[in-house]
């Protein structure tokens, strides 16, 4: 998982190494991306963080 500025991750988004599950930006102009390596199972802690972030995103 990663949270990053588009300037630093645009190339990874373009290549498909990163995916933006919630779109590419929020109304403030800031963008956040939830990312993890393909083929590697998320740990229990990572799944909890993912659920928490998804709940936050859904409530805004």
**For 11-50, how does the pLDDT look when each residue is reduced to its tens digit (9 = 90+)?**
888 898 888 877 766 566 666 777 788 899 999 998 998 8
* 3 close to 32: Cβ distance less than 8 angstroms: yes
Q: Residue 45 has what pLDDT? A: 92
Question: Would you place residue 60 in the very low, low, confident or very high pLDDT band (cuts 50, 70, 90)?
Answer: low
Instruction: Identify which of 4, 31, 43, 13 has the alpha carbon closest to the alpha carbon of residue 51.
Output: 43
1 in a domain, yes or no? Answer: no
Q: Residue 17 CB: number of other CB atoms within 10 A?
A: 12
42 in a domain, yes or no? Answer: yes
Q: How many structural domains does the chain have?
A: 1
11 in a domain, yes or no? Answer: yes
* Domain extent at residue 17: 6-59
pTM of the model: 0.47
34 in a domain, yes or no? Answer: yes
Distance CA 9, CA 5 (A): 7
CA angle at 50 for the pair 12 and 20, rounded to the nearest 5°: 30
Q: Residue 56 has what pLDDT? A: 82
């Amino acid at each position: 998982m990663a949270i990053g500025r588009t300037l630093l991750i645009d190339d990874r988004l373009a290549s498909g190494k990163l995916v933006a599950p919630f779109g590419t930006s929020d109304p403030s102009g800031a963008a956040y991306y939830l990312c993890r390596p393909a083929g590697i199972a998320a740990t229990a802690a990572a799944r909890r963080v993912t659920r928490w972030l998804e709940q936050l995103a859904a409530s805004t």
